Structure 1
Amino acid sequence: MTSPRTTSPSYRVWALPGLPEVRPGDDIAKLIAATEPGLVDGDVLLVTSKIVSKAERRLVEAGDREEAIDAETVRVVARRGALRIVENRQGLVMAAAGVDASNTPAGTVLLLPEDPDASAVRIRDGLRDTLGVEVGVVITDTFGRPWRTGLTDVAIGAAGVRVLDDLRGGVDAHGNPLSATVVATADELAAAGDLVKGKAAGLPVAVVRGLPHVVAEPTEAAVGARALVRTAADDMFRLGTSEAVREAVTQRRTVRAFTDEPVDPGAVRRAVAAAVTAPAPHHTTPWRFVLLESEESRTRLLDAMRDAWIADLRRDGKSEDSIAKRVRRGDVLRNAPYLAVPCMVMDGSHHYGDERRDTAEREMFVVATGAGVQNFLVALAGERLGSAWVSSTMFCRDVVREALDLPANWDPMGAVAIGHAAEPPRERAARDAGAFIEVR
């Protein structure tokens, strides 16, 4: 897209009268042309998706609306009671997958067009062939929006329209550089059309005139409304609250290969803040996290641990070849750009003078520390960081305390390798939760 955003002194928008009830198999372009709409080059038509769906035979039988929503849903984004915000087959994130049960015969629902961009192309081409005009076409549907009450129309399909106006690299009226401004032109057009269209009035098509700069030249590469949908990598609000928690828990994986991309220390500290919300006995705080942010500290620790491990393996009678292989398998910590060593302290613990109760007391603190480590790992996943918890520091606690200059009462409880995953995680074998449950 090369056209700068042009400010017009005025434009007109009106609903197109005279359209008949749309039937399955109808040609929308021919129906519009038959109303003698007086279109000129540079006009933009805003077409309600419902009539496109009807023409494209998207009226389907369904036992109930929920069944149809299930069939059209790719991913549940958020759920509250009966309301579901989902990603549908068209890649749109919206309520109820866009399934419409209003103004349809009993036992049927209306689905969105299979490919709204392709629908817009067909209407545009049909109007060019029938009326000889170069117009833009936007297929619209009604959306709710995060943080805003009320509904408005947005573009779900487009042809011949500059759907986005990228102002980055320009300057504002005061000469300040624009570094993040990308305007959703197609959505602005859709909202303007919604002011004059109306379901009850039977006015499903509107025309905007006076904004020729938003209509793409025939030679421009086709860009549809799909360009308005954020990619997963750019979507900071991809999930609802409870869904985000479940996603972080279920999608967390042990990552053993990391890229060279540096780790944001702030992200690790936010994960620590999540870790220390874990439950603990006697209102204590048994967690300590040693963050190894310098290469020197990581190397000092890992070299000391390696030497201790080799000494243990030699005492066990392992061959030098076997020792070398085992040490190489432990390189997940050495290859990570960031390490954290969670430690347990038992400040505030009770001493009973009874082995059974003292053992149980320590176990309570161990469980609480484990809960903190799990919180930490899940929070790292929420920060889009990979991690691997490795238990090796528990086998040489004195060595770790000396290498990191830790107090004698800090018990290292493994180490966590942290970084950006070098490859997608492997699929985890499905586990039936019922196999781990006993009900009494």
Structure 2
Amino acid sequence: MSDTASAGAGSPGYRVWALSGIPEVQPGDDLAKLIAATEPGLADGDVLIVTSKIVSKAEGRIVRAADREAAIDAETVRVVARRGPLRIVENRQGLVMAAAGVDASNTPAGTVLLLPEDPDASARAIRAGLRAALGVDVGVVVSDTFGRPWRAGLTDVAIGAAGVRVLDDLRGGADAHGNPLSATVVATADELAAAGDLVKGKAAGLPVAVVRGLPHAVADEHGDGARALVRGARDDMFRLGTSEAVREAVTQRRTVRAFTDEPVDPGAVRRAVAAAVTAPAPHHTTPWRFVLLESEESRVRLLDAMRDAWIEDLRRDGKGEESIAKRIRRGDVLRNAPYLVVPCLVMDGSHAYGDARRDAAEREMFVVAMGAGVQNLLVALAGERLGSAWVSSTMFCRDVVREVLGLPADWDPMGAVAVGHPAQEPRPRPAREPGAFVAVR
């Protein structure tokens, strides 16, 4: 038994102890009756911390699985990170944890335990059963063991709850010095789960603990449940592991052609440029230059001049005015973007061979490096939650672009990149089979 009340008369405190006498749980057992049979001496306002493993056993969440990995696959909704055989995944309950919570310990050989189907519902059932059996109104937390991304070691957290204030929202209040609390939301149910684990232990055969003396943690009704502790995808800044995030950034980079009016943070674009100039390049050169058009006046001036040059080209091609107007509308993706980047290629450090074949290959090397730099830029912009579209138009009127933007004669514009906040989510893109693009020799 842990008893923090000994700190002194009138001091805040609570008691936590483990219940002994709970037998090996079998499928179909009524956990509330098993707990009540231990004569736990429960009182209104107590909180029971119940290890999820016995909840799973009682609910028959034991499955035959010669291969634990296959069971993990079946319980996995999304892989967050892999390192060797270890997988951090989001499981069917929405929990992000190692191995989807599939447990091969304390269960017969050839079987594994899955987490409860609905841990909040499990907690509600135990709470209602104890009320019926003992006439007490208690809170219930179903706990499981988690690792944490920023801390070493394991601790128990709440995966199910009933009759407990799972979150204590202190925002809008003030600290002891009068400073406003604007971001403090305490995970009370997790703290209760960890307190119970101190006396239950991992291998002591004591699957239930009682916490007494924390009335602020108890809710009158069932409460929100532990599902409220799961951070939503939009607020999750660490949704992927490192290698997974890199792959996701590359594969999820999409061409965006419609933007909102929300301004673009120039700092975000400069961070993307910093990523762009890490691309590979020939002869230890730095062939990239990025012209950032941050004012509407500069964008309109450039796009108007490019439009006029395009119209002249189309008229020389013999196109009619209706055809010209239709083609010119293709430039709206640049005109409607709140921010433009004009990537430029410079050939400083290139080799001159004096024959057409090698000189052409030399330029191609630099053009490839330019493409790598722009790809880095686009991927980094996606990481900043900005959409982009790389449009080739400036390559067809380089002299006009250089004149309007006052660029050196040896800067070759290599298209333009429209940047902005996407107006909508891009449509799903069918996966491409890599084998169709591979030749093995």
- TM-score normalized with structure 1 length: 0.96
Partner of 1:42: 45
Per-residue Cα deviation, 1:377-427 (whole angstroms, up to 9, x for no partner): 111111111111111111111111112111111111111111111111111
Match of 2:224 in 1: 223
SS at match of 1:356: helix
1:53 aligns with 2:62: no
Q: Does residue 1:31 correspond to 2:34, yes or no?
A: yes
1:253 aligns with 2:247: no
Offset from partner CA, 1:306-351 (integer Å, 9 cap, x none)? 1111111111111211111222232111111111111111111111
Percent identity over the alignment is 87
Paired residue for 1:189, among 189, 192, 216?
192
- 1:291 matches 2:292: yes
Give the conservation status (yes or no) of the 8 Å contact 1:24–1:55: yes
Q: Kindly state the Cα deviation for residue 8 of structure 1 after the two structures are TM-superposed.
A: 6.5
Instruction: Give, in whole Å, the separation in 1 of the partners of 2:397 and 2:408.
Output: 15
Contact 2:171 2:182 in 1 (8 A): yes
Distance in 1 (CA, whole Å) between partners of 2:291 and 2:11 is 60
Matched, 1:68 2:71: yes
Does residue 159 of structure 1 match 2:174? Answer: no
Provide, for residues 34-67 of structure 1, a one-character-per-residue CA deviation record: whole Å limited to 9, x for no partner.
2121111111111100000111111001121111
The aligned residue for residue 350 of structure 1 is 351
Is residue 84 of structure 1 aligned with residue 87 of structure 2? yes
Cα RMSD for the two superposed structures: 1.2
1:369 CA drift (Å): 0.5
Aligned: 1:132 with 2:135: yes
Q: Secondary structure at the match of 2:278?
A: coil
1:305 aligns with 2:300: no
Residue 415 of structure 1 pairs with residue 402 of structure 2: no
The gaps in structure 1 that reach 5 residues or longer are 1-6
Does residue 1:439 correspond to 2:437, yes or no?
A: no
Deviations 1:208-243 (A, max 9, x none): 00001111122xx73011111111111111111110
Contact 1:8/1:210, CA 8 A, preserved across alignment: no
Residue aligned with 2:158, SS: strand
How do 1:226-375 residues align onto structure 2 when only pairs under 5 Å count?
226-375=227-376
Distance 1:317 1:45 in 2: 83
CA distance, structure 2, for counterparts of residue 199 and residue 428 of structure 1: 46
Cα distance in 1 between the residues matched to 2:22 and 2:11? 29
Q: Which residue of 2 aligns with 1:208?
A: 211
Contact 1:28–1:52 (Cα < 8 Å) also in 2:
yes
Q: Return the offset for 1:430.
A: 2.0
Q: Deviations over 1:256-286 (max 9, x none)?
A: 1111122111111111111111000000000
Between the aligned partners of 1:29 and 1:328, the Cα distance in structure 2 is: 70
Q: Secondary structure at the match of 1:137?
A: strand
Kindly tell me: are residues 43 and 8 of structure 1, through their superposed partners in 2, closer, same or farther at Cα, counting changes over 3 Å?
farther
List structure 1 runs of 4+ shifted beyond 3 angstroms: none
Q: Secondary structure at the match of 1:35?
A: coil
Name whichever of 277-286 and 412-421 sits farther off: 412-421
What secondary structure does 2:298 align onto?
helix
Instruction: Report the Cα distance in structure 2 between the residues aligned to 1:199 and 1:286, rounded to whole angstroms.
Output: 59
- Pair 1:93 & 2:96 matched: yes
What is the one-letter code of the residue matched to 1:171? A
Mapping of 1:102-181 within 5 angstroms? Answer: 102-181=105-184
C-alpha distance in 1 between matches for 2:146 and 2:292: 45
**CA offset digits 1:72-99 (Å, max 9, x no partner):** 1111111111111111111111111111
Structure 2 counterpart of 1:34, one-letter code: A
Deviations 1:123-181 (A, max 9, x none): 11111222222111111000011121110000111111111111111111111111111
Please tell me the residue identity of whatever aligns with 2:290.
F
Aligned to 1:20: 23
Equivalent residues of 1:8, 1:211 under 8 A apart: no
Give the structure 2 partner of residue 392 of structure 1.
393
